[in-house]
Structure 1
């Protein structure tokens, strides 16, 4: 089946969902409540990072800040479940959440930049918007993996090979869902319309949900480590402070 026919079929299949969500996402009251939730969630995260999770490395603090900025209370719940040093125990599911959050923070930044540039500023055709946004998402996602590896002394080629092997499945699934949802809901909007930003926020969270099971499988198979247990970092910090 030609790609154009597949895309047309997908658009028609999701038309009822589109017609239901667009008025809601364009409602000023919904937008105001969401903005308040974002501000509150970020404030709670910063308070907890300062009071209870200082042992987290700066990279992971940045990751969780972006996750909460993208997804508000949903992102804060993810941090509370898997990211703070006060978690009761670690598990495959928590490791999967942290791995997805790491991917999400970089890819989300790339998607925001790509969508804003290609659709919001340049007003490109839908195909070009998708291509440019995919490109930025991969660039930012790989950068968040390659950069820290190179800081640890890993060579560029080895770091790139590791990123391609471990991050490609997660990034691909995340961006297919996120970009697809965003364009389905708001392909005809521009930056001055609230729907542009609300559709972007919703699509980012949908991308996280889609990529989560992929990351759980990758962690289970040993392809990804799932980031270090934050409770162990807290224990290391306490022992170090005691030793001093």
Structure 2
């Protein structure tokens, strides 16, 4: 696996477009897990202290699973694919989850709103959009240093 030794975040190969695509890929898995966790927790009437960890856990599971699917298709064994997914997605998912859940907990009534209420869905959508916007520069910085989603690019 090739790692870039040049650590300039503004290097020609580190574009905002590349960072946005990596973030969108990560957000897809993260959002599936986050939404599923919030829906399950809200529908089951779980307390926020149970719903938030459920959403976070599912976001990591789905985020890693999407990355593993791609690298497994490239021929990596499961153990190596898991290592690549962990290296590629952990920071990105962690940042997104921090933002998602701070917003959901911070918007008054969002976590207590039912699944039929606009407040729940609008807050969740806003949290995901904000997570994308704030995580994109993090991913650009990491890719410029050969970390994060740059690890996956060797298998595409």
**TM class by smaller structure:** 0.7 to 0.9
Distance 1:91 1:163 in 2: 20
TM-score by length of 2: 0.83
Q: Which has the higher contact order (CA 8 A, sep 6+)?
A: 2
In structure 1, the residue matched to 2:70 is 148
Equivalent of residue 212 in structure 1, options 136, 139, 142: 136
- 1:79-228 correspondence to structure 2 within 5 Å: 92-119=15-42, 121-185=43-107, 186-223=110-147, 224-225=149-150
Distance 2:152 2:122 in 1: 30
Task: Answer 1 or 2: which has greater helix percent.
Answer: 1
Q: Deviations over 1:109-137 (max 9, x none)?
A: 11111101112x11111111110000110
Contact 1:182 1:200 in 2 (8 A): yes
Distance 1:227 1:94 in 2: 16
User: CA offset at residue 90 of structure 1?
Assistant: 7.4
Contact 2:14 2:140 in 1 (8 A): no
Instruction: Kindly report the root-mean-square deviation, in angstroms, between the aligned alpha carbons of the 2 structures.
Output: 1.8
Contact 1:92 1:219 in 2 (8 A): no
User: CA offset at residue 225 of structure 1?
Assistant: 2.8
Q: Deviations over 1:20-56 (max 9, x none)?
A: xxxxxxxxxxxxxxxxxxxxxxxxxxxxxxxxxxxxx
Q: What are the ranges of 5 or more consecutive residues in structure 1 without an aligned counterpart? A: 1-88, 229-244
User: CA offset at residue 95 of structure 1?
Assistant: 0.8
How many pairs were matched up?
139
Q: Deviations over 1:115-164 (max 9, x none)?
A: 01112x11111111110000110011001100111111101111111111
Partner SS, residue 202 of structure 1? helix
Distance 2:129 2:151 in 1: 19
Which aligned runs of 4 or more in structure 1 are off by greater than 3 angstroms?
Answer: none
User: CA offset at residue 212 of structure 1?
Assistant: 1.1
TM-score by length of 1: 0.54
